[in-house]
Amino acid sequence: MKILMSLAVLVLLGVFAISVQAQQPAPTGKRNLPPIPGLGPDPVLPANPTPAQQAEYKALMAERTRQRWNYILTDSVARARVLNEKPNALLVETAAGRKPGTALDADMGEGRNAIYLAQQGWQVTGVDIAEKALAYAQKRAQATGVKLKTEIADMAKYDWGNNKWDLIVLSYAGGRDYADRVMRALKPGGIVVLEAFHMDATNRLQVVGGDYRVFFNTNELPKLYTAAGLKILRYEEPIGTADFTKEQLRLVKMVAQKP
Ligand SMILES: C[S@@+](CC[C@H](N)C(=O)[O-])C[C@H]1O[C@@H](n2cnc3c(N)ncnc32)[C@H](O)[C@@H]1O
Residue 155 Cβ < 6 Å to ligand 1? yes
Report the relative pairing of strands 248-257 and 239-241 from DSSP bridges. Answer: antiparallel
Verify that 60 and 157 share a domain, yes or no: no
Check whether residue 95 and residue 65 sit in a common domain. no
**Whole-angstrom distance, CA of residue 256 vs CA of residue 259:** 9
At 48 the three-state DSSP class reads coil
**CA dist., res. 165 & res. 159, Å (int):** 12
pLDDT of 86 reads: 97
Exposure b/e, 218-244, CB count within 10 A at least 16 = b: eeebbebbeebebeeeebebeebebbb
Ligand 1 centroid – CA 209 distance (Å): 15
Q: Which atom of ligand 1 is nearest to the CA of 170?
A: 6
Quote the pLDDT of residue 212.
94
The pLDDT tens digits of the residues spanning 40-52 come to: 788 888 899 999 9
- Mark the ranges of the chain whose per-residue pLDDT is less than 70: 1-35
Q: Measuring CA to CA, which residue among 32, 34, 42 is closest to residue 65?
A: 42
Domain count, the chain: 2
Residue 82: CB within 6 Å of ligand 1?
Answer: no
- The pLDDT of residue 116 is 98
Q: Does residue 149 sit in the same domain as residue 232?
A: yes
pLDDT in tens, 78-133: 888 889 999 999 999 999 989 999 999 999 999 999 999 999 999 999 999 999 99
The answer to whether residues 250 and 143 belong to one domain is: yes
Residues 25 and 125 occupy one common structural domain: no
Residue 128 CA to ligand 1 center (angstroms) comes to 6
User: Which residue, judged by its Cα, is nearest atom 18 of ligand 1?
Assistant: 154
Residues 238 and 114 in one domain: yes
Q: Domain ends where: 82, 98, 116?
A: 82
Question: Last residue of a domain, which of 65, 82, 99?
Answer: 82
pTM value is: 0.88
Q: In the prediction, which pLDDT does 43 show?
A: 84
237 and 158 in a common domain: yes
Furthest C-alpha separation in the chain: 56
pLDDT of residue 95: 97
- Which of 12, 69, 243 is the best mutation target for the ligand 1 pocket, counting ligand atoms within 8 Å of the beta carbon and taking the most? 69
Question: Does residue 133 sit in the same domain as residue 250?
Answer: yes
Residues 251 and 194 in one domain: yes
Instruction: Give the pLDDT score at 248.
Output: 95
Distance (Å) from CA 233 to ligand 1 centroid: 24
Tell me the residue range of the domain where 181 lies: 89-257
Quick one: pLDDT at residue 40? Answer: 79
Residue 11 Cβ contacting ligand 1 at under 6 Å: no
Report d(CA 114, CA 106) in Å as an integer: 10
Residues 123 and 42 in one domain: no
What CATH number does residue 243 fall under?
A: 3.40.50.150
* Claim to verify: residue 163 and residue 115 sit in the same structural domain: yes
Distance (Å) from CA 133 to ligand 1 centroid: 9
233 and 161 in a single domain? The answer is yes
Nearest partner of 126 among 82, 171, 96, judged by Cα:
171
Among residues 34, 51, 82, the one where a domain terminates is 82
Ligand 1 atom closest to the Cα of residue 130 is: 25
Q: Which residues have C-beta within 8 Å of that of residue 101, sequence separation ≥ 6?
A: 122, 123, 165, 166, 167, 187, 190
